[in-house]
């Protein structure tokens, strides 16, 4: 699969976006936002990352990457107007609803992620290794800086979503998926979702994917919206009890 099959024009309709995500597991829409909107959003991102904001917590801080997490109602519309507007009115909820053909939890959570490239540091921890998420999400990421292959793009393996969805659900039915069990070998078939600031990346986390390492001195800033369909979430949360307790119960019942 060549890169252009995953890259859509900035004018792409929800229908085109859905067709591509269904076929490949993800897509990139370069220049989805105009430059003025992107710049305002990046300024809001910097404010949010550089200052302590009530109810917006640091979700992860690994040095090379820091993520803050927020619920939309906790993001002050007066202080972060462009971010709130982009989350609410760019059609993401419609795409997610149609993708899941279900009621969606939108926006489940917002993540603000700043990653930096350190000299001599190639990160081999999750999410920098190929994996599928333990729970499935449709994720929307707005790139707030230009992302080339040196700036840590998201990489995905196109066309394998259904296969790994099946594998994940089989694993979940057998037991819980522990961190690390969702790591995959590199296939050499991954495609980088690169584009200028203002681009939109959408991917299903059942598609094998990973975050890219950044070259030293590079910075990547993204705002990501994670969405879930109700049936999909219920499916992930369902646990078939392990055989052991059942066997114990039976033995107790018959007095063994």
Ligand X SMILES: O=C(O)CCC(=O)C(=O)O
Which residues are CB-contacts of 155 (< 8 A; sequence separation ≥ 6)? 130, 190, 191, 192, 193, 209, 210, 211, 212
- Draw the binding track, 142-161, toward ligand X (x: CB under 6 A; -: no contact): ------------x-------
Number of residues that bind ligand X (CB under 6 A): 7
For residues 81 and 97, give the distance between their C-alpha atoms in angstroms, rounded to a whole number.
24
44 in contact with ligand X (CB under 6 A): no
127 in contact with Fe ion (CB under 5 A): yes
Which residues are CB-contacts of 197 (< 8 A; sequence separation ≥ 6)? 35, 38, 42, 143, 144, 145, 146, 147
CB of 101 to ligand X, least distance (A): 22
205 in contact with ligand X (CB under 6 A): yes
CB of 13 to ligand X, least distance (A): 25
CB of 114 to ligand X, least distance (A): 11
Cα 101-102-103 angle, rounded to 5 deg: 145
Which lies closer to ligand X via its Cβ, residue 28 or residue 211?
211
What is the four-CA torsion angle of 17, 37, 210, 116, rounded to 10 degrees? Answer: 170
- Judged by beta carbon distances under 5 to 8 A according to partner kind, the member of Fe ion, ligand X, none in contact with residue 139 is ligand X
CB of 182 to Fe ion, least distance (A): 8
27 in contact with ligand X (CB under 6 A): no
199 in contact with ligand X (CB under 6 A): no
Q: Residue length, the chain?
A: 256
For residues 246 and 136, give the distance between their C-alpha atoms in angstroms, rounded to a whole number.
29
For residues 133 and 180, give the distance between their C-alpha atoms in angstroms, rounded to a whole number.
10
Strand, coil or helix: 59: strand
- Binding ligand X by CB under 6 A: which of 25, 107, 127, 198? 127
Among 32-40, 69-77, 181-189, 205-213, the segment contacting ligand X (CB under 6 A): 205-213
Site residues for Fe ion per CB under 5 A: 127, 133
């Amino acid at each position: 699969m060549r890169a252009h099959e995953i890259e859509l024009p900035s004018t792409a309709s929800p229908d085109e976006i859905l067709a591509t995500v269904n076929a490949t597991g993800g897509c990139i829409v370069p220049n989805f936002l105009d430059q003025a909107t992107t710049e305002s959003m990046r300024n809001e991102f910097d404010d949010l990352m550089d200052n302590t904001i009530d109810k917006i917590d640091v979700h992860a801080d690994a040095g090379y990457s820091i993520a803050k997490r927020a619920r939309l109602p906790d993001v002050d519309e007066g202080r972060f107007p462009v971010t709130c507007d982009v989350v609410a009115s760019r059609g993401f909820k419609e795409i997610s609803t149609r993708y899941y053909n279900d009621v969606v939890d939108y926006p489940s959570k917002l993540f603000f992620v700043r990653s930096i490239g350190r000299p001599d540091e190639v990160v081999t921890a999750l999410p920098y290794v190929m994996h599928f998420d333990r729970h499935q999400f449709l994720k929307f990421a707005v790139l707030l800086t230009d992302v080339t292959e040196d700036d840590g793009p998201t990489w995905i393996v196109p066309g394998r979503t259904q296969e790994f969805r099946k594998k994940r659900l089989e694993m979940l039915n057998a037991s819980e998926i522990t961190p690390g069990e969702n790591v995959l070998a590199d296939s050499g078939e991954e495609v980088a979702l690169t584009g200028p600031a203002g681009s939109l990346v959408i991917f299903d986390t059942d598609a094998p994917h990973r975050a890219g390492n950044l070259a030293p001195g590079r910075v990547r800033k993204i705002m990501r919206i994670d969405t879930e369909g109700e049936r999909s979430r219920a499916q992930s949360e369902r646990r078939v009890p392990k055989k052991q307790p059942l066997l114990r119960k039976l033995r107790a019942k018959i007095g063994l």
